[in-house]
Amino acid sequence: MSNSMLNEAEPKELRDESDFEVIFSNSDYISVCGFGSLLSERSARGTFPELINFRMARLNGFRRFFGHVAPIFFERGIAKPETKCFTTCYSSEYQEISSLCSEPCEGENIIITVFEIKKSEIPAFIQREIEFRFLIVLPETLDGKIYDKPAVLCSRYTDEEFFQVRCKGNKDIYFHHYGRRNIDKIWRDDILPCRVYLRHCVLAAKNLGEIAYNNFLDHTFLGDRRTTLRKYLTSYGSGIMEEEPPESIKFRYDG
């Protein structure tokens, strides 16, 4: 796929393993974008031990926001559905259970990481990020040079798309991934960031340097797509950055 084709059209979606194989047929590796926990090389290597060429990049035309429920937070005991944290940026009390996602947004840009994983890891990658839409994107270096090879970005789905595409319209598959956690809606604008996860992502961005850190604070939004993370942490997120993750997951969730 040429750069011009990627630039002129909407990002191509990869729906299953065969789509990945077609796009990345000329290499034993595929490039993956990290915009949340995968901003941390340590965290990325915890998921992909054999990754190579970990580096920073910029992705234009996308924004990052806390807009979906992640079952892994419940499994690891760090979701806080009981807190219903009240903030004046919302009109009601919202639960602290949200993870990060991305979506196309004209005029926005996010600092991300890019690295390569083996093609043999594609099935595990799909399962790990099953709630996402996989898009083909062309990041660029921080000095503006567009990458020669495309990368995979995890982007926003809708609940209906997730049910029809990932679950094949099968309620049992949905129950396996979400229903058993009493989650009947995945993509939401009425939830707040999971505190331990948010702290981890902020520290990971900070470890990448000032450019990545400021971009993360100013170009990451809550589910309302208006409140920046900087404003949230300054005005509403009292104590989040001082909270230590549970010892059992401290290695993974400590930046």
Tell me, what CATH number does 92's domain have?
Answer: 3.10.490.10
117, containing H or E segment: strand 93-118
Is residue 83, in this structure, part of any structural domain at all? Answer: yes
Is residue 254, in this structure, part of any structural domain at all? Answer: no
Is residue 141, in this structure, part of any structural domain at all? Answer: yes
95, containing H or E segment: strand 93-118
pTM of the predicted structure, to 2 decimals: 0.89
**pLDDT given for residue 9 in this prediction:** 55
In which domain, by residue range, is 75 found? 3-237
pLDDT of 85 over the 70 cut: no
**pLDDT given for residue 252 in this prediction:** 80
Give CA–CA dist 147/149, Å, rounded. Answer: 5
Under the banding of pLDDT at 50, 70 and 90, the label for residue 83 is low
Is residue 201, in this structure, part of any structural domain at all? Answer: yes
CB atoms within 10 A of CB 45: 14
pLDDT of 100 over the 50 cut: yes
Closest CA to 20 of 148, 99, 120: 120
pLDDT digits (tens, 9 = 90+) for 120-142: 999 999 999 999 999 999 999 99
**pLDDT given for residue 236 in this prediction:** 80
Under the banding of pLDDT at 50, 70 and 90, the label for residue 238 is confident
pLDDT of 232 over the 60 cut: yes
Is residue 252, in this structure, part of any structural domain at all? Answer: no
Is residue 255, in this structure, part of any structural domain at all? Answer: no
Is residue 249, in this structure, part of any structural domain at all? Answer: no
Q: How many domains does the chain have?
A: 1
Q: What is the three-class DSSP state of 105?
A: strand
Is residue 246, in this structure, part of any structural domain at all? Answer: no
Q: Please, which residues have CB within 8 angstroms of residue 217's CB and are 6 or more apart in sequence?
A: 202, 205, 228, 229, 230, 233
Q: Which two tokens stand for residue 11?
A: 């990002």
Give CA–CA dist 77/15, Å, rounded. Answer: 30
Mean pLDDT of 68-86: 75
Give CA–CA dist 212/92, Å, rounded. Answer: 32
pLDDT of 166 over the 60 cut: yes
**pLDDT given for residue 186 in this prediction:** 93
Mean pLDDT of 214-238: 93
Q: Which residue has the tokens 């996860």?
A: 197
Sign of the alpha-carbon dihedral angle for 22, 26, 28, 33 = negative
